[in-house]
Chains A and B, each alone.
Chain A
Amino acid sequence: MNTEAIPLLRVRGLSHSYGAQVGCLDVGFDLWPGEVLGVVGESGSGKTTLLGCLSGRLTPRAGSVWFTTRAGRAVDIPRLGEAGRRRLLRTDWGIVHQNPRDGLRMRVTAGANVSERLMAMGERHYGRLRDTALTWLTSVEIDGDRLDDLPDTFSGGMQQRLQIARNLVTRPRLVLMDEPTSGLDVSVQARLLDLLRGLVGDLGLAAIVVTRDLAVTRLLAHRLLVMRRGEVVESGLTDQVLDDPQHPYTQLLVSSVLPP
């Protein structure tokens, strides 16, 4: 963890609503470089709204999201403006969608999918692009032979790994993941989690993982936010929250999972 006392992301009083319907209410937390934060809660608890507000896809009604850029400057995401936000999304941030089809270009090859962000940042050397794409495919355990294949011909797990490679190629410092494993069967989930854990450790990524699956957070997250009806009802170290839940809702959530 970083010794400097500047969090990568500082969220304060974040609220969003859809008319009278509360999306999220007064959410606040700090995320430090290299830290993985899990956000759990049943469906409808405001997890995806929170992620939308963090990534700038939604403009929150109130609150601030301060992100520390590579240059060490703090920017407020909701007030950054579209140009700056999109630049961040291409470079310093990664977003892994639940459905890989939302995050991939299905009609271009795996290599082009991985290289797109580099080209957007101005890389104009075909040979170097291919070398980089190949390296990244290998590091997400996709066979190098598949470089020129369309993602349509990939299995669901491979598509999800390709999506991760596509995001990590610019070495972002923050990755937002929305239910990254929920569409996959259990054995594939396990491999993906292993891979994610390795990558997060190797690259020193900070990540926010939104999920309904407590087992995923147990494996991946250092800290946990438990959400219910848009509010954070409990937060703390993952093991602490899962092994000794304080809030009645968390207790219910934890006890509703069958013991392994």
Chain B
Amino acid sequence: MNGYNFAYLDEQTKRMIRRALLKAVAIPGHQVPFGSREMPLPYGWGTGGIQVTASVIGAADVLKVIDQGADDTTNAVSIRRFFETTTGVRTTTRTAAATIIQTRHRIPEAPLVEGQIVVFQVPIPEPLRWLEPRESETRTMHALEEYGVMHVRLYEDIVRHGRVATGYDYPVLVNGRYLMRPSPIPKFDNPKLDHCPALLLFGAGREKRIYAVPPYTPVRSLDFEDHPFTIERWSQVCALCGSAESFLDEIIVDDKGGRMFVCSDTDYCLARRR
């Protein structure tokens, strides 16, 4: 594309972001500040993820972009088109064929493999944010591993709902050290983070933070001994492909109360029906 550098960002900016990424990989789960740039996309639509992807993508990469598990929703389509225009790289909807997967709110159902990079779009990187409003204090709490207050939140959940009611963005402890927000993925996807063979990168554009989980890093979801972490289960199977293992979305199909449950991961669902 004329007048623009490969992948939109200039090389100095990419270098700056790559430095932040290297630091993030070296300290799994630790939030690294970076100089987030204005992107041709509103905040909240993936400006952090798009900058991380732009910094790691090369001409030989194959890109997949998903939004809530789907390849064909507005956010996914526009970000995929953005990189098609600014880099000319090949894109795909198949998880297995992709080298870089930028995602919002899901991790693909198909197992990730070594050499793949997953880029997460993060709205709020700080797991302690709603518990402690001061940024200086949350940083100290991370530095000193003072995470008791997170369990106070889980405790409150059990008091009010009889179980931990947090369904997405469920807090995890990375490598036994840093408390991390896995971005708003359903807790169904949390077990996929643990010892994942792929490199997981997280970018928060508005909050100007980058963090990472290197391949094969232990990632533990917080819980109580007598209220262990569990994932969602459905009484139905996918109405299209019949899968009983995947994360299901409930879809309203008419105005008479009709509904169906289908896989949220469109690529996984299509592959099973083929």
Residues of chain A touching chain B, judged by Cβ–Cβ distance below 8 Å, are 82-83, 86-87, 90, 105, 108-109, 111-112, 115-117, 119-121, 124-127, 129, 148
Contacts and interface: CB of A to CB of B under 8 A. Distances in A.
Interface in B216-243: 223-227
Given A112-B159, A125-B225, 4 more contacts: A112-B152, A117-B148, A119-B148, A126-B224
B155 interface: yes
Contacts of A105: 152
User: Which of A86, A108, A117 counts the most chain B CB atoms within 10 A?
Assistant: A108
Given A116-B149, A120-B149, A126 B144 contact: no
Contacts of A124: 151, 223-225
Contact of B144 (A83, A111, A119, A125): A83
A210 B250 CA distance: 60
Question: Interface on chain B toward A: helix, strand, loop, or mixed SS?
Answer: helix
Given A86-B146, A116-B152, A109 B224 contact: no
B137 to A, nearest CB: 11
A119 B140 contact: no
Contacts of A126: 155, 158, 224-227
Contacts of B143: 83
A126 B151 CA distance: 10
A86 B143 CA distance: 12
Given A119-B155, A124-B224, A148-B159, A82 B148 contact: no
A93 to B, nearest CB: 15
Contacts of B245: none
Contacts of B146: 86, 90, 120
B249 interface: no
Interface string B38-50: 0000000000000
B135 interface: no
A87 B140 CA distance: 13
Interface residues on chain B, size class:
10 to 19
A112 B155 contact: yes
A241 B262 CA distance: 80
A109 B152 CA distance: 10
B177 to A, nearest CB: 14
B106 to A, nearest CB: 29
Contact of A82 (B144, B149, B151, B153): B144
B148 A111 contact: no
User: Which of B143, B149, B155 counts the most chain A CB atoms within 10 A?
Assistant: B155
A134 to B, nearest CB: 13
Contacts of B152: 105, 108, 112, 115-116, 119
User: Which of B151, B223, B225, B227 counts the most chain A CB atoms within 10 A?
Assistant: B151
User: Which of B148, B153, B158 counts the most chain A CB atoms within 10 A?
Assistant: B148
B10 interface: no
The 10 closest A-B pairs by CB, nearest first: A120-B148, A119-B151, A126-B224, A119-B148, A125-B225, A112-B152, A112-B155, A83-B144, A126-B226, A127-B226
Nearest to A125: B225
A125 B155 CA distance: 10
A82 B140 CA distance: 9
Interface in B131-160: 140, 143-144, 146-149, 151-153, 155-156, 158-159
B88 to A, nearest CB: 51
Contacts of A82: 140, 144
Nearest to B145: A83
Contacts of A117: 148
A111 B140 contact: no
Contacts of A120: 146-149
Contact of B159 (A83, A86, A109): A109
Contacts of A109: 156, 159
Nearest to B131: A105
B224 A125 contact: yes
A124 B226 CA distance: 8
A87 to B, nearest CB: 8
Contacts of B226: 125-127
Contacts of B149: 116, 119-120
B252 to A, nearest CB: 35
A10 to B, nearest CB: 26
A129 B155 contact: yes
B125 to A, nearest CB: 22
Contacts of A148: 159
B148 A86 contact: no
B151 to A, nearest CB: 4
A112 B152 CA distance: 6
User: Which of B140, B147, B226, B227 counts the most chain A CB atoms within 10 A?
Assistant: B226
B223 to A, nearest CB: 8
Nearest to B223: A124
Contacts of A90: 146, 148
